[in-house]
Chains A and B, each alone.
Chain A
């Protein structure tokens, strides 16, 4: 079965750029999505189709996907961005989630 690998944790200073990666075999051939989940809350879609933002998601969230790696980039990271982030793709019509990355804003 298809697997997505994320680093367990990423740290960033306020105002800096955070990059959260997601790796999988030929991941660039698939559309990647990203979800933000804050403690005690439901996940929120922040990126779909590799780099598109749903309505209401701040412009500081962006995405890219090429080769074997998809990346969620948060520019000018704010304290409110501290959360768990999950990547997700479809593989043979099945949904696959990554293991999640805890973003800490120090």
Chain B
């Protein structure tokens, strides 16, 4: 059974850097095909994808936020960390991490084959001075 849980500060000040941690179980980022991503949702608004990291260290970022985001993995701790710089009140949102598996056959992996099949409970971040 795969589980993911987000953790981090509930309140950050404008211009600060946000650091969020996704701790997971039931999967390993050492395993071919495994990916973990971050998605956020401002209050009352739609889901917005932020970043993804894969077992092979491939990193993907939202084009609109790429300059502010860094995603890293610590396989020994079963964690994925997202850093977002220069926080602004518009970044107030619930932040989710999710498992995003790839379909791999004969050494070729297709990241678009499956959806994000397991999500964490989310963590709420408010940006305010």
Binding site for B on A (CB under 8 A): 1, 30-31, 33-35, 37, 42-45, 47-49, 54, 86, 88-90, 93-100
Contact = CB atoms under 8 A, between A and B. Distances in A.
B24 interface: no
B49 A94 contact: yes
Interface stretch (B7-15, B25-33, B114-122): B114-122
Contacts of B46: 86, 97-100
B47 interface: yes
Contacts of B115: 33-35, 45, 47-48, 54, 88
Contacts of B57: none
A49 B103 CA distance: 11
A41 to B, nearest CB: 9
Interface in B95-129: 96, 98, 100, 111-117, 119-122
B62 A94 contact: yes
A43 B47 contact: yes
Interface residues of B, number: 25
B12 to A, nearest CB: 22
Q: Is the interface of A mostly helix, strand, loop or mixed?
A: strand
A44 B114 CA distance: 13
Contacts of A95: 37, 39, 49, 52, 60, 62, 100
A49 B60 contact: no
A43 B113 CA distance: 18
A58 to B, nearest CB: 16
B113 A49 contact: yes
B3 to A, nearest CB: 12
B96 A94 contact: no
Contacts of A97: 39, 46-49
Contact of B114 (A34, A48, A100): A48
Given A33-B114, A43-B98, A94-B49, 13 more contacts: A1-B63, A30-B112, A33-B116, A35-B116, A42-B120, A45-B117, A54-B115, A88-B115, A90-B111, A93-B111, A93-B112, A95-B37, A95-B60
B47 A94 contact: no
